[in-house]
Structure 1
Amino acid sequence: MSTRPTEKVREAAGPGRPEVPPVLALRGAGVRVGGRTLWSGVDLTVGAGEFTAVLGPNGVGKSTLIKVLLGLLPAAAGEVAVLGGRPGEQNRAVGYLPQRRNFDASARIRGVDVVRLGLDGDQWGVPVPFLGRAKRRAALARVEEVVQLVGASAYAHRPIGQCSGGEQQRLLIAQALVRRPRLLLLDEPLDSLDLPNQSAVAALLGRICRQEQVSVVMVAHDVNPILHQLDRVVYLAEGGAVAGTPDEVITSETLTRLYRTPVEVLRTSDGRLVVVGQPEAPARHADRHADAHADAHADRHADVAGGGPGAAG
C-alpha cells in the first residue's frame, strides 16, 4: 500500500512556496540478505513530526529496515531518501537508539554524562577532547535542556547503573535527542520495560513528535503501548510489506492478504488490538547476518546522534 506526502508536509511549504521534502520517502524499497529477500515493495512517506511504527513477527527484518535508513545496509530494490538525500548522508541529523542493553549495576558513569556522549562523542560514544570553553558551556546547557525534556532531572546525576530500566531508557532517549535530530530511529525501545514504563515512554515519544517536530520511526513488537501516538504503520511479513494509517493496516482483511493465510484482528473492551492467527516467521538467521554486515561497515559512515555505552547495536 502506497502512502502519499502528508498534509503536514504540504502545509509547511505554504502558499506559493516549493513543497518541503519529506523526512523519509521510500518507493518500492526492498532488501536482500544472504541471497534471500527479507522484504520488498515498501512505499512510505513520513513528514516532520510524524510517528511511524515498524511491525511484524520476529525474523522479518524490522531492525534491518532501520539499518537501511541509517545507510548501514543498501536497499536491493527501489528508492530510499532520508532527509532529502541518500541514507547515511544526513546522519548527524538522525538520532538512533539501538535495541536495549541494560547497564551493569556497578556502572559509575552518571546519567547526565551518558546523555552528553551523544553530543560530543562519535557514534560509539567516545568523547572528543579539547572542546573550547564556550562550546563546553553550550554543551552543558543543551544536555540540561534535553534531560528536562525527557523528565529525567531527578535522577540524571546518579550513576546510571543505579537507575531503573525506565529511567535508563529516558536517559538514552535524551542522548539520541541531544543533537536536535530531525529524525529519531528507535529499535524496540519498550522491550523489557514493565507496562507502566512502556506507557510513560510511549507518551514521551508522542510528545517529542508533536512539540519538537521530530519524526519518529520505531520498531515495535507490540503496537498497543504506542497505538494512540501513531500516524502510520509499516507491517512486514512473508517477504512483503504494507504501509498506511493504523486503521488501514491493522485489519483482518489487510493482514490476511499480507500473510496469505486467515488472520483476525480483534479489539478488546479496553481498546487493545489482538492479532489472532498471525504466523511467526520461520527460524532464520537473516537479521543476525544483516547486523554483522552492518557493524562491519559502520565505520565507513557518518556518525549518528545517540548510541552510547550499553546502547550500541
Structure 2
Amino acid sequence: MIARLSDATVEPLWSNVNLELASGEMVAILGPNGSGKSTLLNCLAGIRRPERGRAEIQGRLGYIPQQRMFPRDLPMRARDLVSLSLGHGVLTGRRGRRADVDKLLESVGAGHLADRRVGTLSGGQQQLVRQAQAMANDPEILLADEPFLSLDVSHQRETVERFARSGAAVLMVTHSIDPVIDVVDRILYIGPRGHVLGSVDEVLRSSVLSELYGSAVDVVTVRGKTVIV
C-alpha cells in the first residue's frame, strides 16, 4: 500500500470513501462536475483534510494540479519552473542542475520549450511542463487532475504510456475514460448518490450508474468512444 483513504468524508461531496493504491496501479476518478473529484485528490496531497476519516501517503509524491493558465507576463521560463521542482537545498542547491532539468523536459516531449516563457505557451504545452514538474522527484505516487486537458490524442496516448512506465501508483481525475480504458486497473466513480469502486466492466454499466444518479443512465459506445447519457 502506497496511498490510502479510510472512511474519508468531505460533506456534502462524498462520504466513507475507502481506497488503497498499490505501486504500479492506475485508478481513474470519474463523475459529474461538482462531485468532489479534485477535492479527493487534494485530501491525498495534503492540501485539504477530510472532515472525517484519514488520507495517507507513503512515498514520494508527484502532483499535476487542475489546469490554470499561467499569466502571460509571468517572467519565468519552462526551465525555471522545472528547476524549482528539482531543487531541494535549504541554502544552496535550491534549483536543479540544468542538465537534469533539460532531461526532464525532453522526457515529456517539451525540450524545445525550455527557454520559452510559460505564459506564452499553449494549454497543451503548459500541461507538458506540469508533467515534467510532477516527475521531478521520481514519484512513487502520482496524483493527476485532468492531465489530458488541452492535449491532442497523440499526446494523450504518450502521457498514458509515460505514467505506466513510471512505475508509480497513479490516481487521476478525468472526464473521459477513453484515453486510459485499456490500462486503468480500477475506476472510482463519484455520483450524486454515492460512489462505487471497481473494474471498468464493473463500474461502467447502465444499472450501476443509474443507481448513483438516481435516474436512468445509459453507457454506450459511439464511434469507439464511451459515452454516458
Normalising by the smaller structure, the TM-score range is 0.7 to 0.9
Matched, 1:237 2:191: yes
Deviation for aligned residue 1:176:
1.4
Equivalent residue in structure 2 for 1:204, among 155, 158, 162: 158
Deviations 1:156-195 (A, max 9, x none): 222223322211110111011111111111222333x1xx
Query: Residues 111 and 159 of structure 1 are in contact (CA less than 8 Å); yes or no, is this contact kept in structure 2?
Result: yes
- 1:3-152 maps to which residues of 2 (within 5 A)? 22-32=1-11, 37-83=12-58, 93-120=60-87, 130-131=91-92, 139-152=97-110
Distance 2:39 2:120 in 1: 32
More strand by percentage: 2
Question: CA distance change for structure 1 residues 158 and 245 in 2, over 3 Å: closer, same or farther?
Answer: same
2:43 alignment partner, SS class: helix
Question: CA distance change for structure 1 residues 198 and 43 in 2, over 3 Å: closer, same or farther?
Answer: farther
Equivalent residue in structure 2 for 1:188, among 118, 140, 146: 146
Query: Residues 63 and 143 of structure 2 are in contact (CA less than 8 Å); yes or no, is this contact kept in structure 1?
Result: yes
Percent of residue pairs identical: 36
Deviations 1:93-127 (A, max 9, x none): 21122211112334442211111121227xxxxxx
Q: Which has the higher contact order (CA 8 A, sep 6+)?
A: 1
Partner AA of 2:134 in structure 1: A
Distance 2:16 2:210 in 1: 17
Deviation for aligned residue 1:129:
6.9
Distance 2:57 2:13 in 1: 21
Query: Residues 152 and 171 of structure 1 are in contact (CA less than 8 Å); yes or no, is this contact kept in structure 2?
Result: yes
2:181 alignment partner, SS class: helix
Matched, 1:227 2:188: no
Q: What stretches of structure 1 of length at least 5 have no aligned partner? A: 1-21, 84-89, 122-127, 277-313
Find the counterpart in structure 1 of residue 215 from structure 2.
261
Find the counterpart in structure 2 of residue 271 from structure 1.
224
Partner AA of 1:179 in structure 2: N
Distance 2:167 2:185 in 1: 13
Name the Cα RMSD after superposition.
Answer: 2.3
Find the counterpart in structure 1 of residue 129 from structure 2.
171
Q: TM (normalized to structure 2)?
A: 0.88
Q: TM (normalized to structure 1)?
A: 0.66
Rg larger in 1 or in 2? Answer: 1
